[in-house]
Amino acid sequence: MVKETIIISLGGSLVAPNKIDIGFLKNFRHCLSRLLEGNRGSSTKSGQKYQFFILVGGGKICRNYQKALLEFGAKSADRDWMGINVSKLNAEIVRQLFSGYSYEKIITDPNKKVKTSKDIIVGAGWKPGWSTDYDAVLMAKNNKADTIINLTNIDYVYDKNPSQFSDAKPLKEIDWKSFKHIVGDKWTPGLSMPFDPKASKLAERFKLKVAIINGKYLERLEDFLNNKPFVGTIIR
């Protein structure tokens, strides 16, 4: 069976909300290792074989650094470079987490196709002006994947910001046009959105599907990959 390419945009706030979340990382390794059992001839629920591309974000620690730089008058590009460097640190710990499964280098250019039999390829930020969500979209296009899983720290996309509006409604499915109306069209360093505006435009153009899933509950990721009902939002 040919391996199915799965693109995961992994929120940095899951990897390091304030410090490295060892518990999450252990659970993440256990989850993907179980999904990769089929690659080694073991029985899995779906029988599917996978290759995972994991693009790791900077998260809250990144935004703390960027906020400090802003206080000192740093330009947008400089704050973006800070985010890129933090994402590389987060990516390196994820790469080493899957030692034995993972490709030996961190991918920083999503336009370069990686030729490897390794089951897990880990990437980080690339250029100023967009997030690792954008990199994930480019990675999907260049590796012929039609779905991106965005592991974040929210259960759903909401019709408006739930931290500001008590009547915000969770959305199980939304089209790209409606989603872009919610998130707008501007990117700024450290922006916290379910999926960044520039990435959303590109994903719509490439006709990609994005699943927003709370990474704190990794059984939801397994449910999604096993074509079961799951808690989260589909954007397409």
Q: Supply the pLDDT for residue 45.
A: 59
Q: 209-214 and 233-235: which strand pairing?
A: antiparallel
Q: Supply the pLDDT for residue 1.
A: 63
- The separation between CA 157 and the C-alpha centre of its own chain, rounded to angstroms, equals 15
Per-residue pLDDT tens digits for 72-107:
999 989 998 998 999 999 999 999 999 989 999 999
User: Sign of torsion, CA 183 168 232 175?
Assistant: negative
Is pLDDT above 70 for 41? no
Q: Supply the pLDDT for residue 112.
A: 86
User: Sign of torsion, CA 202 204 205 206?
Assistant: positive
Give yes or no for a contact between 148 and 210, defined as CB atoms under 8 angstroms apart.
Answer: yes
Cβ neighbourhood burial of 155 (10 Å; 0-12, 13-18, 19+): middle
Least confident of 31-40, 117-126, 168-177, 180-189: 180-189
Which residues, 6+ apart, have CB-to-CB distance to 165 below 8 Å?
A: none
**Looking at residues 32-45, what average pLDDT do you find?**
76
CATH number, domain containing residue 140: 3.40.1160.10
Domain, as residue range, for 110: 4-235
Indicate the number of domains in the chain.
Answer: 1
Q: Which residues of 126-137 are buried (b: 16+ CB within 10 A; e: fewer)?
A: bebebbbbbbbb
Neighbours of 17 (CB within 10 A): 15
